[in-house]
Chains A and B, each alone.
Chain A
């Protein structure tokens, strides 16, 4: 697309036709509008590329030279995938002509419309897109602080944490106990803990059959629950025990010193402890006042503009996206809709109502996939399910069907990562 030249023609035509353009954003008519995108994950990187295609001058702020993807990182923990298969560079994005500020965004001055960088440099913007992902809440689970992650990895941000959990599982003796702690909603990747539990159980069953995985959950119900639980009963009856909230599964404290996970009703000694802690939107969102008391960012479901900070858009895991789960697929969808809305708003026009899709694949075993898909639209101020659309994998299915879904999952990862980073 050559959006910019089209825009300019429209602007000229508009000038001739109407005086209302005087009220249009300042960027029009003078310079190319500037958008800054903070965060180079599935949401931010997609959005930067989409904005670039629409003829907008984009700067992507991302301190890391490479991105390590979370989807499929549970296979790294399982031992059947190399972490390098999860790693992507920003080279292709740079080749698109997108400027990359390879440093941390230290803050935002929303009134002056400026992003401050760690080096002291500033980036002016007409509109800002925040895609900061998640931060771990180290204030939410007693005993689980910044130092604890080296002993009890969360592995909920892919990279060194993923490798550490893998290493711990590998060095655990046969007969060991793995304890996994799962938080209450909302958190990144709702079915993720259960995929991970499945794949850890698969590893134990095949490599360390005297060992066991105990999953302590702060919820009684979760995504694709019946599919997961049926599969667990069939595949891992001796290796995976799940304890929900009603069974006393909520973790209230961890002790790194004793390698113990504490619930309201018991203490569980672990040889390997994987603590998936409570989370919130990436720090910058809260610092600039885009997050509410929940720690996440309320948004307009049509434009993804933050309800608490006009002119700032929030996409991906950091946003409160109604019925849409926090997933890479969702972030990618948010990013495209948001880019289009930003471009439309910069033209002084009103964005149309979008429809968005999400699909979450989970692997219950390396060759056993299940999925849930949904379609969403703005309704009553939030992104709501389109009733009757989407669905989950059938409860009864042959091995071939499950194997095919595992293939679809792989194909999705190939497609989305080549779209975002390739």
Chain B
């Protein structure tokens, strides 16, 4: 399973626009590369990524073979209330991984 680095500010003021950053360690194997045996290396990419904030979707993306290894996402959201930010991503085998971070809104 992929390892992820997540940066959500631990604290924010109500209404503040905060930056969220996620880096998922993943080879994003395109399926177009040939291995030393002359056969194509099987495609293995993350297909989708989504972020919810207190259950509400704030960001989502479909990923494709042209995207780099170790995809990095950075986006902004409005800190409306204290809660849990949930990140999930799904690979080619339809396995979904979930990670969460807490944000404390004053």
**B-side contacts of A266, CB under 8 Å:** 7
> Which of A220, A245, A247, A264 has the most CB atoms of chain B within a 10 A radius of its CB?
A264
Interface CB pairs A-B, < 8 A, 16: A220-B70, A246-B23, A246-B69, A247-B5, A248-B5, A248-B23, A264-B5, A264-B21, A264-B72, A264-B74, A265-B5, A265-B6, A265-B7, A265-B21, A265-B23, A266-B7
Q: Does any Cβ of A come within 8 Å of B25's Cβ?
A: yes
**B-side contacts of A264, CB under 8 Å:** 5, 7, 21, 23, 72, 74
Contact string against A for B residues 63-74, beta-carbon threshold 8 Å, 1 for contact and 0 otherwise: 000000110101
Contact string against B for A residues 251-293, beta-carbon threshold 8 Å, 1 for contact and 0 otherwise: 0000000000000111000000000000000000000000000
**B-side contacts of A246, CB under 8 Å:** 23, 25, 69-70
Q: Give the number of residues in B that approach A within 8 Å (Cβ atoms).
A: 10
Question: Nearest CB to that of A244 among chain B residues?
Answer: B70
Within 8 A of A (CB), among B14-54: 21, 23, 25
Contact string against A for B residues 60-96, beta-carbon threshold 8 Å, 1 for contact and 0 otherwise: 0000000001101010000000000000000000000
**A-side contacts of B74, CB under 8 Å:** 264
A265 to B25, alpha carbons, bound, how many Å?
14
**A-side contacts of B72, CB under 8 Å:** 264
Given known contacts A247-B25, A266-B7, what 11 new A-B pairs fall within 8 Å (CB)?
A245-B70, A246-B23, A246-B70, A247-B5, A264-B5, A264-B7, A264-B72, A265-B5, A265-B7, A265-B21, A265-B23
Q: Which 6 A-B pairs have the closest CB atoms?
A: A246-B70, A265-B5, A248-B5, A265-B7, A264-B21, A246-B25
**A-side contacts of B70, CB under 8 Å:** 220, 245-246
- Chain A positions within 8 Å of B, measured between CB atoms, are 220, 245-248, 264-266
A220 to B25, alpha carbons, bound, how many Å?
11
Question: Nearest CB to that of B19 among chain A residues?
Answer: A264
How far in angstroms is the closest Cβ of chain B from A245? 7
**A-side contacts of B23, CB under 8 Å:** 246, 248, 264-265
A246 to B72, alpha carbons, bound, how many Å?
9
Instruction: Tell me the dominant secondary structure on chain A's binding face.
Output: loop
How far in angstroms is the closest Cβ of chain A from B22? 9
**A-side contacts of B25, CB under 8 Å:** 246-247
A265 to B3, alpha carbons, bound, how many Å?
13
A247 to B69, alpha carbons, bound, how many Å?
12
How far in angstroms is the closest Cβ of chain A from B33? 16
Question: Nearest CB to that of A264 among chain B residues?
Answer: B21
**A-side contacts of B6, CB under 8 Å:** 265
How far in angstroms is the closest Cβ of chain B from A242? 15
A245 to B5, alpha carbons, bound, how many Å?
11
Question: Nearest CB to that of A252 among chain B residues?
Answer: B21
A248 to B70, alpha carbons, bound, how many Å?
10
**B-side contacts of A248, CB under 8 Å:** 5, 23
A247 to B4, alpha carbons, bound, how many Å?
9
**B-side contacts of A245, CB under 8 Å:** 70
A262 to B9, alpha carbons, bound, how many Å?
14
**A-side contacts of B69, CB under 8 Å:** 246
A370 to B7, alpha carbons, bound, how many Å?
38
How far in angstroms is the closest Cβ of chain A from B73? 11
Question: Nearest CB to that of A220 among chain B residues?
Answer: B70
A264 to B70, alpha carbons, bound, how many Å?
14
Question: Nearest CB to that of B25 among chain A residues?
Answer: A246
A248 to B72, alpha carbons, bound, how many Å?
10
How far in angstroms is the closest Cβ of chain B from A252? 10
A92 to B7, alpha carbons, bound, how many Å?
57
Question: Nearest CB to that of A245 among chain B residues?
Answer: B70
Question: Nearest CB to that of B72 among chain A residues?
Answer: A264
How far in angstroms is the closest Cβ of chain B from A251? 14
**B-side contacts of A247, CB under 8 Å:** 5, 25
**B-side contacts of A265, CB under 8 Å:** 5-7, 21, 23
How far in angstroms is the closest Cβ of chain B from A250? 9
**B-side contacts of A220, CB under 8 Å:** 70
Question: Nearest CB to that of B27 among chain A residues?
Answer: A246
Question: Nearest CB to that of B26 among chain A residues?
Answer: A246
> Which of A245, A265, A266 has the most CB atoms of chain B within a 10 A radius of its CB?
A265
A220 to B23, alpha carbons, bound, how many Å?
13
A264 to B25, alpha carbons, bound, how many Å?
14
**A-side contacts of B21, CB under 8 Å:** 264-265
Question: Nearest CB to that of A248 among chain B residues?
Answer: B5
A266 to B5, alpha carbons, bound, how many Å?
10
A248 to B21, alpha carbons, bound, how many Å?
10
A245 to B21, alpha carbons, bound, how many Å?
14
How far in angstroms is the closest Cβ of chain B from A281? 28
How far in angstroms is the closest Cβ of chain A from B97? 16
A264 to B21, alpha carbons, bound, how many Å?
7
